[in-house]
Structure 1
């Protein structure tokens, strides 16, 4: 039973984070709509004012989706509703088909899953996965709601509550399902991740200095042995806090130091049932140095771009939340 539960948890993590990557891709794709519309009407419209810095670069220095400044109130409501329906409705529809297919009981049940202890099912990697998903979803949805034509404050609130509200709804439904249980630990990290995403969107200086990223390298454990599985292979995951020299004005102006990043992170290995039978599970603290690929690409491939292209938007969004292993050198401290 425990083995089956671990596989189910991995499957749910894969589904949630796969949805996240699709949202990242959608962010870049929908950014092209205003550009196409503007190009088509260029001959019949008076010259437009140059885009403001807020239109091009949002909090933290990442390219923003151009706001639909000329959208009517009806269009704003329609786009906003479509984003919310896609997020909430899609999650519930998938959950009904894949998570809650065994049905529900009459009572509400809870489970004490623990946090980062040696005796937990995943050493805390699943909890960081919840937090990371809530954090990233809140930020991407905020940008999506801005694209829909909402002002910054409304977009922030909608992004936070749509992200966290959906995850909390899933947890509550779990409490009534036959297969799952409500986890207070999952609920708390969902709230924490969403709140952190909200805070980062409202603090541009901190956002320019710090990234939260997931790094994955295929492990030799059961989940990673047979396929590349960045979302279910907990043993191959590292959750990192990355400090970027480019976020410090004095260092950003330096020819070389602006490409330097320092990181510290956490991961857990061999907590799978199959692995426990052979080796003792371990928890790890990582610290190291990495190359700021976003800065590198801006000064090479994307240099001279008057407005970020779809390719640049997608690339920089991906690099904001994902650490490329080849661009980092990290030391490993084992916590047994």
Structure 2
């Protein structure tokens, strides 16, 4: 097949998987079509804004998955970055259209803005690898917090965090071999939204912002293990120390 044929089949395949997953997991076809104003990062929103960062991260990671595939198909870096961002946005838009036909969700323009922002960030960091060496956008999944577990880990916001990691190893000015294994983290997460039933007694909803210092596990493990770059997108829990601010402390 030509590289264009491969790209077409890749998009069709990912789109089919998204369609199947959405129909099975997100109740597509249960209603609609309808629009829904979900808000942004307010305490009374559905997930305290964590879902918005989830959309951004998904758009970002998906754009790099596509871009990596396009380079393997023979496209240059710039074309791969551009087509990867467009493919990501296409898939995320299709998912949002699917949500429009769900009684639980609906088409959200807030989600679409974060889908677009994630794809745009994916384009920028793939097109300019010197920036990618310095910054990662990651999701962290910690399986241990209490609360109802969801089979779909991508929407299990009780256990998810999202962060930007600034990697010392990406800055030539940092020459100390110890410091080059460290990272600076800025992150956000929400908790206890799944247990909120609408009553004051059940309202333990919290939104958290944190900063921290962690280990660059990709660099630390590189002499022993090829992580395949996955740790540039997924943050290992308990590999950093952080100062946390709870916006909803009572």
TM-score (norm 2): 0.88
SS in 2 for 1:325: coil
- Structure 1 residues 96, 288: closer, same or farther in 2, change over 3 A? closer
- Indicate whether 1:333 and 2:245 are aligned: yes
Deviations 1:291-316 (A, max 9, x none): 11111122x315xxxxxxxxx2xx14
Equivalent pairs, count: 246
- Contact 1:239/1:266, CA 8 A, preserved across alignment: yes
Deviation at 1:174, TM superposition (A): 2.9
1:319 counterpart residue number = 231
2:110 counterpart residue number = 185
Distance across 1 between alignment mates of 2:205 and 2:26: 28
Deviation at 1:78, TM superposition (A): 2.8
2:173 counterpart residue number = 250
SS in 1 for 2:173: helix
SS in 2 for 1:286: strand
Deviations 1:75-111 (A, max 9, x none): 3233222211211222223334444554555xx4211
1:123 counterpart residue number = 48
Deviation at 1:132, TM superposition (A): 0.4
- Indicate whether 1:175 and 2:100 are aligned: yes
Distance across 2 between alignment mates of 1:273 and 1:246: 41
- Indicate whether 1:288 and 2:212 are aligned: yes
Segments of structure 2 that go 5 or more residues without pairing to the other structure are none
What is the 5 A alignment of 1:141-220?
141-177=66-102, 180-220=105-145
What is the 5 A alignment of 1:1-336?
74-99=1-26, 102=29, 105=32, 108-177=33-102, 180-224=105-149, 230-251=153-174, 253-274=175-196, 277-298=201-222, 300-301=223-224, 312=226, 315-336=227-248
Deviation at 1:140, TM superposition (A): 1.5
SS in 2 for 1:212: strand
Deviations 1:185-226 (A, max 9, x none): 1111101111111111122222111111112223544224xx
- Structure 1 residues 297, 179: closer, same or farther in 2, change over 3 A? closer
Deviation at 1:146, TM superposition (A): 0.7
Please identify the structure whose Cα radius of gyration is greater: 1
RMSD: 2.3
Segments of structure 1 that go 5 or more residues without pairing to the other structure are 1-73, 303-311
- Contact 2:22/2:98, CA 8 A, preserved across alignment: no
- Structure 1 residues 99, 233: closer, same or farther in 2, change over 3 A? closer
Deviation at 1:127, TM superposition (A): 0.9
Distance across 1 between alignment mates of 2:247 and 2:104: 32
Distance across 2 between alignment mates of 1:143 and 1:255: 30
- Contact 2:142/2:160, CA 8 A, preserved across alignment: yes
Distance across 1 between alignment mates of 2:148 and 2:85: 32
TM-score (norm 1): 0.67
